[in-house]
């Protein structure tokens, strides 16, 4: 569809090779950040991680972490009890099953506790520039408002977006995240400033 192609081109034009707002120095820090960011803001994660990574600077130290100590570092993060357990289990699995090296393929990443399809794809997008789409709350909202998908689940929405856009998915994913975070917001979207306003027929549109 011509309209879908226009949307794709405008995203790529308005966001020049965008990257995540999560702050990390290596693959270990990236996977921890992405796991913490589930249903939590990147801003909050970036406040938590400096002290967290001082205490647990690598996968081995995280695998050996004391659960209650780890919780104390991430307690301002949503669902911190579950996330603390998952982080330790993830790190143990990396040490036991992958010789301490975080795997860089979807199947092996998804074998790690707490790593679902979205987390695996975000890690591969950010670390490898992989041609994947990942659907968080922002991407889900934006794709439905723009009528790119009517799917009920993030996974099915991801399938729709992958089929429509085909390539540059890594940049399109991050563009849609930032667009949803700052322009096409859940409440009071900034429709007057929106570069896609002329292509949008959403009932949420504010003129």
Catalytic residue positions, numbered: 118, 136
| DSSP character at residue 147 | T
- Give yes or no for a contact between 100 and 60, defined as CB atoms under 8 angstroms apart: yes
Cα 78-81-82 angle, rounded to 5 deg:
85
* Helix (H) or strand (E) segment spanning residue 58: none
- Sorted by sequence, the CB contacts under 8 Å of residue 102 that are 6+ apart come out as 27, 28, 31, 59, 94, 109, 123
């Amino acid at each position: 569809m011509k309209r879908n192609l226009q949307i794709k081109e405008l995203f790529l034009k308005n966001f020049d090779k965008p990257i995540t707002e999560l702050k990390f120095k290596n693959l270990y820090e990236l996977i921890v950040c992405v796991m913490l960011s589930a249903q939590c803001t990147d801003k909050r994660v970036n406040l938590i991680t400096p002290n967290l990574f001082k205490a647990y600077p690598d996968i081995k130290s995280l695998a050996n972490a004391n659960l209650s100590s780890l919780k104390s570092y991430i307690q301002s993060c949503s669902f911190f009890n579950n996330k603390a357990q998952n982080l330790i289990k993830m790190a143990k699995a990396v040490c036991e099953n992958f010789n301490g090296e975080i795997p860089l393929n979807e199947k092996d990443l998804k074998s790690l506790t707490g790593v679902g399809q979205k987390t695996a794809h975000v890690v591969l997008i950010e670390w490898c520039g992989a041609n994947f789409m990942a659907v968080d709350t922002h991407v889900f909202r934006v794709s439905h408002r723009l009528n790119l998908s009517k799917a009920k689940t993030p996974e099915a929405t991801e399938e729709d977006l992958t089929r429509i856009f085909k390539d540059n998915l890594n940049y399109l994913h991050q563009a849609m995240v930032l667009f949803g975070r700052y322009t096409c917001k859940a409440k009071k979207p900034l429709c007057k400033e929106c570069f896609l306003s002329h292509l949008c027929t959403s009932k949420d549109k504010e003129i």
